[in-house]
Structure 1
Amino acid sequence: MTHSDRRTQLLELFEIGVRAADPAVCVPPHLPMPPKGRTLVIAAGKAAASMARAVETHWDGPIQGIAVTRYGHGVECEHIEVIEAAHPVPDDRGEIAARRLLEEARELGADDLALCLISGGGSALLGLPAPGLTLDQKKAINRALLASGAPIGDMNTVRKHLSAIKGGRLTEAAFPARIHTIGISDVPGDDPSVIASGPTVPDATTQAQALEILERYAIAVPDAVLAHLSDPENETPKPSNPVFNTSSFHMAAKPADMVGAVAEEGRRRGCKVISLGADIEGEARDVGLAQARLALEAAAGRKPGDQPVLIVSGGETTVTVTHPDGRGGRNCEYLLSLALGLDAHPDICALACDSDGIDGSEENAGALIGPDTLSRIRAAGLDPAQELERNNSWSVFSAVGDLVTTGPTRTNVNDLRLILVG
């Protein structure tokens, strides 16, 4: 198999993985029966608009609502208003949208239905601070958490406790209406309380844990935030709270679906598939080096004529940013570390992309590497190891034309990493 053939295969497999989480396919089977009263759609996340359109296409009866999604991720809906806002750092539009959603939820009665469509990214997009806090305070803490290398669970523990709508507070506002949540998971473990910081589900985390996380990552907080987190009256609703008696959660798609679809297609194409699962976490560069060792072992074990080996994994790595001027993303950082670990092995190519089409804050989904990657980077006048230390992986892959740019996919089941050996 040529280098070009491997790259084509990897891109095709990524597309198959994304299609496994298409809201048009995965949302309709989870729709509830219409209520006696009215139906309000409340959608938040990178897949919010496409999930809302899937509901409109299949819903029997009147419907209205709001879907808040990331800039560029909107789609046209007939009855549901689509609002685009900032991600990963919230902005005024997200704050206003979240306030409107909360106000709409409070008007629901016992015969009404809140049909909540929740996907990854919703935590930043629902940027309504808790009473007494400001959006600027939330933004500063959010930026610091993003740069700290904290895993998504820790980040969302803090976000829940600084929010007026997350951590179950949306269900609290809508009670006694029936709450039917359809989720698309982008988090390792698929915990509904972590997806978009769980606006409709109970929160088992505590203010004390949020404070401990802020202290652990040395994140400075203003006095107002410290006072808020120290007041037990501000605790999020817990599993025993009766507001959750009329609430249910239904998982429409998850990272394992994407990994499974790709693994199945890999086998169909004649590959020996090694699946590492959909819950990989850790520093992106450390995961890159670990998977480089695994790929080299697979290559060493192959004999002439053996089938290719496809190593598949999903999950969400983290990047501890030490050089804020660098331009990167967790998938590009993983790949640059992987390339260094593979040291130009002639039989190995790899792809790492975010299923939402955006790796970090840039406009690419991820990138590709092959046997000639390091030599081409050096020919472009760049030192790959030095650029990795500078958190500048995007710039490296941009310089050699190896970025993968899909545009917004309008779904989000986390990252897909593929290594093709042979």
Structure 2
Amino acid sequence: MKSRKLFTVLAAALFALGLNYFIIEKWIPQFSNLSTSAHSDTFSKKTNTIQVALLLDTSGSMNGLIEQAKSQLWQILNTLAKTERQGHETTLEIALYEYGNPTYTATQIHQLSPFTNDMDLISKKLFALSTNGGEEYCGEVITTAIKNLEWGTDDSNLKMIYIAGNEPFTQGPINYAEACHLAKKQNIFINTIFCGDYKEGVNGMWRQGAQLADGEYMNINHNQTTVYIETPYDKKIDELNLQLNKTYIPYGNEGKVKKENQITQDLNASVYGKSNCADRAAFKCSKKYTADSWDLVDAYAKDKNIINSASGLPDSLQNITSKELEIKIQTTSSLRTAIKNQIQTLNNNRLIYIQNNSKEDAQGNNLKKSIEKSIQKQAKKKGFKVNEEQFIIEN
């Protein structure tokens, strides 16, 4: 009898240990993997938020797609920057994935950035991309983006996935239809961009994928070079942009690195000419360009107590009082506002000049036009709108 009781106790103990092992070793890691990219719990509580995940095919034939993404980034972001909801400012977050690159694991999927409002980081990641022959699994990369990104819990937000590639949508171990149904269940629009002939994309189920998640199907000529229209305003905007950069005061652990990256992304934009530089400068003048995590001026606007705790300041500000630092920040902020107003005024004139000197549909279908087209439709469905009126920044 004693031995039977002892056996029962031991069996119960082993079962409990086994259950604990399952919970701790098996279940928790799988659960936590679904949110490894979340910045914080506050993301799930955000409202008036636009979230865009870009899933780009980086297999061997997609050099043209990557070039369009790099050369049209700031035009796309400027469209998103004009999006508002019932007159209220919106928050913009971008995430970036590449797929079809055998360098990264068996799935050939790589998260370049989780959702972020740091568009300089997105630019940096895009310019670091290269192509490599691989397998393009659309269903799998969509599922990965849905599960691993922090999409938030407010279904009234605008959530969009853009997936671009040139292989059949049906490839891979995860059925594309299941992936798209998962997106629809979470109120995420799936917009598909086929790099090639329209009918070929339809036959490859790219249109079907978009339809299953209430998105848009589009095709583009991914090898088409972006055409810019130079204007009489570009040079002055470029000069003002240099002055604008001087108003950023780095602080904290990342301040110096982020400040350097700001300059680097200006240089990357300049690869495509002064018109593209002007597009980037215009975005830097919008409220969507935020730097409060590393710039003391933006941080002070968010929380004035930062002057009492800011570390890692430039040498010239190391030995001044808090009051002197506050005056420096306020003076710099006023200067920044004045520069932004000048840039925006010039950019308004620049856009009018471009509109008057461009031929309609001169560039055909490209990445920028495809994204802008779908933004207009899907923003409206969620109560957002793209405000085409230009704006001046108020002090």
TM-score tier (shorter) = under 0.3
Bigger relative contact order, structure 1 or 2 (CA pairs below 8 A, ≥6 apart): 2
Q: What is the TM-score of this pair, normalised by structure 1?
A: 0.22
The TM-score normalised by the length of structure 2 is 0.24
